[in-house]
Chains A and B, each alone.
Chain A
Amino acid sequence: MNAPYQTEGEILCPLCGTRYSEAEGRACHLECPLHDHCGRLSCPYCAHEMPAPTALTRWLSRRWFSKKREH
């Protein structure tokens, strides 16, 4: 299953299929004068943006996908 936020903090880009870490996805923030910590990640290969994992989505992701794995 392709969870958007993998347990190891890895993100799967839905546009180009690249797997990247949260830190790599946040690299765009260094170059952007307005969007520091804007809550979005950008794929290092194709730049497709994804919402950055937050405490809420991380918690939901863990709950949802751990339940799925149990099943």
Chain B
Amino acid sequence: MARSGGASSSSGVEIPACGPGQHRGRLHVVTPSSTGRAAQPQIRRLALVGNPNVGKSVIFGALTGTYTTVSNYPGTTVEVARAAARADAAVEVIDTPGVNSLTPNSEDERVTRDILLTGVDCVVQVADAKNLSRALVVTLQLAEAGLPFVLVLNMMDEAADRGMHIDTVALALALGVPVVETIAIRGHGLGMLQQALSRAAVSHQRARYPAAIERALLRIERLLAGFDVGPRWLAMLCLCGDDTLRPWLAQHVPAPALATIEDAHRDVQAQLHGHASYQVSRARVRVAEELARGVTSYSGTDAPVAALHTRRQAAVALGALLGCLCLLAGDFGLIPDAASGWLRVAAWLGVGFAGVSAYRSAEMRAALGRWAAQRRTGVGVLLVVLYLVYRFVGVFAAGTGVTFLEHTVFGGYINPAVTGVIDRGIAAFGQLSPWGATVAHGVRNLFVGPYGLVTVALTYAFAIILPIVTAFFIAFSLLEDSGYLPRLAVIVNRVFRGMGLNGKAVLPMILGLGCDTMATLTARIMETRKERVLVTLLLALGVPCSAQLGVILGLFGALPLWAPLVWISVVLGVLFAVGFLAARLLPGERSDLILEVPPIRRPQLGNVLIKTLGRLEWYLKEAVPIFVLGTLVLFVLDATGVLARIVAAGEPAVVGLLQLPPRAAEAFLIGFFRRDYGSAGIYALFQQGALTPVQAVVALVTITLFVPCVANFFIIVKEHGWRTAVAMSAFIFPFAFAVGGAVNLGLRAVGLP
């Protein structure tokens, strides 16, 4: 049965709120005459569709009775719940998996697409009212699919808390379908939803695509008429290169028509240089955002501001930028000593002025939010953020915190006190036999020797890493709580597009900055095994985890400014080169990154403190025992003479190729346990004056690209098997040393110290 939709003048009718306790629920009905087509006279199959986590299951529970069948969708592991409607047992209600698009990018989205393809009489689209534009992207696709639907704006209370007011009458008129406001979790508005089902209608709203796509749509739409869903949607799936539709098309469309469709797809790909799905997504997002903007108003402090270019905003941006540039120039030694002090004060005043303005003014936060996500300004904001994090973690925490804890607390009090207690304990035994003296010497070394639990494990954990990771966790929590991370993902996504990588690869990479082990698990969101392996390889190769990044930043605080610039250039260059090469070797359709971008918020002190404490608690529980274990292993290896042999075996690479002192091999060895532990070893060597700045950079580059830590290795084994994990390590190990060697040669060639 072919369906057609067409726009006509709309008229809206508002039905007042339903019964007691449901005062928040409102239904805006557009009469059937105002839409392209009236609802099905009789509903037999009703599907709930919507983005993930919008409350579909709660509404499903409200619409159905107690007898729910949950089963895997045929051929998949995706669960789909079905049940008879509470109001009419003859109606089957289907709770589909959450989607961000009906052009499938995941198995969940494929299942939802298939359910719609097999024919439903009515759709209830559940939307998170706070994220209206994200929901409207799906609405536009339901409109193209020609399916009668009702739009449910759920979580209206949370939208109101954010100062959002949605004009649902205007939205119902713009879409030509009933719009119902609900707070499903409290049961508000669900009565109205029941009433609206009989008025479900096909929306006349359409996104306009680039001319090449519109021409191709016209060409193939007529070949796809006569099905339960609209030909425009089917045609769009074909043009976007949805390969999973091929079996269905082969079954339902004659071969000559299929050939024409293939031709049209190829033409569009050629004209748009392979970016058809990207252009389609952009067009939909543009229309959805326009629609959402037109019906949404704000009150209170979170109101976004349309105009950015006020003098105040320009002054704030200029203040922050000039401040950072002055500090940077000071770090490079470009400012004469006499002027340095005053300029530093002025620079910090500029940065502080920008920070206070952003904290106090909603307008500034809105402007900052847009700058952070925009193509031209986003990289500038990212550089300012990175520089400030470096100053806080690398200069302040590593300089002041580590010096105090390592030299004053551990060096001045704890280590001498423990050494004194042990020495007094040994002395209490009086004259010892040769065997007893050996044992006493071993016990002393176990605690306060060169690989002692106190002098190495606890000193590294508490004096070197703890102050640095504390500062890093504070900075990370501030960024999290301010809403900057999704914007970072948007900017990184652009870089990844440049590499030719799938947009979905962005999330594991961002998450890898927290923990590579956890991020390796998220590589599952990639479509093919090749993509999953590639993302895992990139994670293991060049994405430092939060603790390692903190220690590296800490060491940079003591190095000249060229050191972090070289390190970041080399690591990004390696990632870019491997990603670029791999993307050429692994061709395939790129998918888009769909992420809700919240407004920039004032970080809440309580949130930042609690999250930092939570992370520190985790660090102390997980990392410190591994430090103790690693030090014990070193102690045993040293006592048995194996360590000397390992150091000797590693000399050709460590001393010959990297030109590092032999003891650096120990840092690489303990890097197997945890990468931050290895980095702390390099930090300690630098502090002892055993490394020059060039050697420190070479060692840091090598350990950043070094083999994954034990936890990450085992998760790679679990995800990809022993062969892949060993092959990956076998590639990374010599590669890291080769890059380190090249950096060493390059830096020495330009005459750096």
Residue numbers of A with Cβ under 8 A of B are 1-5, 14-20, 28, 31-35, 38-40, 42, 45-54, 56-57, 60-61, 64-65, 68
Q: Are A51 and B486 in contact (CB under 8 A)?
A: no
- Chain A residues with CB under 8 A of B480: 14-15
Q: Are B53 and A20 in contact (CB under 8 A)?
A: yes
Q: Which among B364-372, B390-398, B612-620, B658-666 touches the partner chain?
A: B612-620
Q: Judge whether B518 is part of the interface by a CB distance below 8 angstroms.
A: yes
Residue in contact with A14 in the complex, picked from B481, B617, B715, CB distance below 8 Å? B481
Q: Are A18 and B514 in contact (CB under 8 A)?
A: no
- Return 17 A-B CB contacts under 8 Å, by A number: A1-B604, A3-B604, A14-B480, A14-B483, A17-B486, A31-B521, A32-B517, A32-B518, A39-B618, A47-B518, A48-B510, A49-B514, A52-B618, A54-B614, A56-B613, A56-B617, A65-B606
Q: How far is the CA of A49 from the CA of B514 in the complex (A)?
A: 7
- Chain A residues with CB under 8 A of B481: 2, 14
Q: Are A51 and B617 in contact (CB under 8 A)?
A: yes
Residue in A closest to B612 when the chains form the complex, CB atoms: A51
Residue in A closest to B130 when the chains form the complex, CB atoms: A17
Q: Judge whether B47 is part of the interface by a CB distance below 8 angstroms.
A: no
Query: What is the minimal beta-carbon distance from A31 to any residue of chain B, in angstroms?
Result: 6
Q: Are A18 and B518 in contact (CB under 8 A)?
A: no
Q: Judge whether B609 is part of the interface by a CB distance below 8 angstroms.
A: yes
Q: Are A35 and B711 in contact (CB under 8 A)?
A: yes
Are A38 and B596 also in contact (CB < 8 A) when A4-B607, A18-B52, A65-B606 are? no
- Number of residue pairs A-B, CB distance < 8 angstroms: 118
Q: Are B604 and A60 in contact (CB under 8 A)?
A: no
Are A51 and B618 also in contact (CB < 8 A) when A15-B485, A46-B507 are? yes
Query: What is the minimal beta-carbon distance from A48 to any residue of chain B, in angstroms?
Result: 6
Interface string of B503-536 (1 = CB under 8 A from A): 0000110110011011101100100000000000
Residue in contact with B614 in the complex, picked from A34, A57, A65, CB distance below 8 Å? A57
- Chain B residues with CB under 8 A of A52: 614, 618
Q: How far is the CA of A48 from the CA of B615 in the complex (A)?
A: 14
Q: Judge whether B610 is part of the interface by a CB distance below 8 angstroms.
A: yes
Q: Are B53 and A19 in contact (CB under 8 A)?
A: yes
Residue in A closest to B621 when the chains form the complex, CB atoms: A39
- Chain A residues with CB under 8 A of B618: 38-40, 51-52
Residue in A closest to B525 when the chains form the complex, CB atoms: A47
Q: Are A64 and B606 in contact (CB under 8 A)?
A: yes
Q: Are A54 and B519 in contact (CB under 8 A)?
A: no
Residue numbers of B with Cβ under 8 A of A are 52-53, 131, 480-481, 483, 485-486, 489, 507-508, 510-511, 514-515, 517-519, 521-522, 525, 595-596, 598, 601, 604, 606-607, 609-611, 613-615, 617-618, 621-622, 711, 714-715, 718
- By CB atoms of chain B within 10 A, which of A15, A34, A57 has the most? A15
Q: Are A16 and B511 in contact (CB under 8 A)?
A: no
Residue in contact with B711 in the complex, picked from A17, A34, A45, CB distance below 8 Å? A34
Residue in B closest to A51 when the chains form the complex, CB atoms: B614
- Chain A residues with CB under 8 A of B489: 15
Query: What is the minimal beta-carbon distance from B601 to any residue of chain A, in angstroms?
Result: 7
Interface of B is mostly: helix
Q: Are A68 and B52 in contact (CB under 8 A)?
A: no
Q: How far is the CA of A64 from the CA of B610 in the complex (A)?
A: 9
Residue in contact with A47 in the complex, picked from B521, B607, B614, B718, CB distance below 8 Å? B521
- Chain A residues with CB under 8 A of B517: 32, 34-35
Q: How far is the CA of A12 from the CA of B721 in the complex (A)?
A: 34
Residue in contact with A3 in the complex, picked from B514, B595, B607, B622, CB distance below 8 Å? B607
Are A16 and B521 also in contact (CB < 8 A) when A51-B611, A60-B613, A68-B606 are? no
Q: How far is the CA of A31 from the CA of B685 in the complex (A)?
A: 38
Shortest beta-carbon contacts, A-B, top 4: A51-B614, A14-B480, A47-B522, A64-B606
Residue in B closest to A55 when the chains form the complex, CB atoms: B617
For the A-B complex with A14-B483, A51-B611, A52-B614 known, give 8 more contacts whose Cβ atoms are closer than 8 Å. Answer: A2-B604, A3-B604, A5-B610, A15-B510, A38-B622, A46-B522, A47-B507, A64-B609
Are A33 and B714 also in contact (CB < 8 A) when A14-B485, A15-B510 are? yes
- Chain B residues with CB under 8 A of A54: 614, 617
Q: Are A60 and B607 in contact (CB under 8 A)?
A: no
- Chain B residues with CB under 8 A of A31: 521, 718
Q: Are A17 and B613 in contact (CB under 8 A)?
A: no
Q: How far is the CA of A30 from the CA of B105 in the complex (A)?
A: 25
Q: How far is the CA of A18 from the CA of B480 in the complex (A)?
A: 14
- By CB atoms of chain B within 10 A, which of A4, A52, A61 has the most? A4
Q: How far is the CA of A64 from the CA of B607 in the complex (A)?
A: 9
Q: How far is the CA of A33 from the CA of B614 in the complex (A)?
A: 22
Query: What is the minimal beta-carbon distance from B301 to any residue of chain A, in angstroms?
Result: 12
Query: What is the minimal beta-carbon distance from A32 to any residue of chain B, in angstroms?
Result: 7
Q: Are B714 and A15 in contact (CB under 8 A)?
A: no
Query: What is the minimal beta-carbon distance from A47 to any residue of chain B, in angstroms?
Result: 4
Residue in B closest to A45 when the chains form the complex, CB atoms: B52
Residue in contact with B518 in the complex, picked from A19, A33, A40, A60, CB distance below 8 Å? A40
Q: How far is the CA of A63 from the CA of B59 in the complex (A)?
A: 34
- Chain A residues with CB under 8 A of B604: 1-3
- Chain A residues with CB under 8 A of B609: 60, 64
- Chain A residues with CB under 8 A of B598: 17
Query: What is the minimal beta-carbon distance from A13 to any residue of chain B, in angstroms?
Result: 9
Are A4 and B611 also in contact (CB < 8 A) when A14-B481, A34-B711 are? yes
- Chain A residues with CB under 8 A of B611: 4, 50-51
Q: Are A16 and B486 in contact (CB under 8 A)?
A: yes
Are A2 and B601 also in contact (CB < 8 A) when A14-B481, A31-B521, A33-B714 are? yes
Residue in contact with B607 in the complex, picked from A2, A15, A16, A42, CB distance below 8 Å? A2
Q: How far is the CA of A16 from the CA of B100 in the complex (A)?
A: 13
Are A15 and B486 also in contact (CB < 8 A) when A34-B711, A53-B614, A57-B613 are? yes
Residue in B closest to A38 when the chains form the complex, CB atoms: B622
Residue in contact with B521 in the complex, picked from A19, A28, A65, CB distance below 8 Å? A28
Q: Are B613 and A33 in contact (CB under 8 A)?
A: no
Q: Are A49 and B515 in contact (CB under 8 A)?
A: yes
- By CB atoms of chain B within 10 A, which of A17, A31, A40 has the most? A17
